[in-house]
Amino acid sequence: MTSDYRIPAPLQNTIDNLSFLARTQEGEKLFFKEKIHLLNSDWGARMRRYYYNENFESQKKIIKEIVENGLDSLDTYKDNIHYPRLVQEFKRAKDGICNLRNTYFKQLRETGELDTVIYMMEQQINACDKAEEDENNKYIDRESNNSASDDY
């Protein structure tokens, strides 16, 4: 017997990856192999990152994949009890990617691909916010109609 509150494994993986991106602060870089954030002064981690051939170009591909999985999950798990958490992590991940973008921009690196990812995320967040607002308005209308009929 499975609990209704159990998080499906693909959804949990997506939420974990979005959460990792969300924790990125400006000035930090990512190391996906060990799921850590690096500062420029962290030479040991930078050497491991070099050893595993993890650089900004390979990371942009990983970030795109995580965001695409997030977009797919937002569509797939719309009726799941954990959907609000997914939306929250998706919004926070956008902020983390913005911080990463600013870190690389200050180092005069090309950030166009990250700008595109951020734009896609903003569009999806706006759609989620609009859907939530529409749902809230339906509830308010329904409640006001119920109370109006009670007045008679």
Q: Which of 121, 82, 92 is nearest to 25 (CA)?
A: 92
Query: What was the pLDDT predicted at 146?
Result: 67
The model's confidence at residue 39, banded by pLDDT at 50, 70 and 90, is confident
Residue 89 makes CB contacts below 8 A (sequence gap 6+) with 15, 18, 19, 22, 70
Give the mean model confidence (pLDDT) for residues 17-35.
Answer: 94
- Domain extent listing, the chain: 9-150
Looking at every residue in the chain, the average pLDDT score rounds to: 88
70-124 tens-digit pLDDT: 999 999 999 999 999 999 999 999 999 999 999 988 888 888 999 999 999 999 9
HSE, CB side, 13 Å, CA atoms: give it for residue 140: 6
Query: What was the pLDDT predicted at 148?
Result: 56
pLDDT at 149 over 90: no
Residue 5 makes CB contacts below 8 A (sequence gap 6+) with 81
pLDDT at 1 over 60: no
Residue 146 makes CB contacts below 8 A (sequence gap 6+) with none
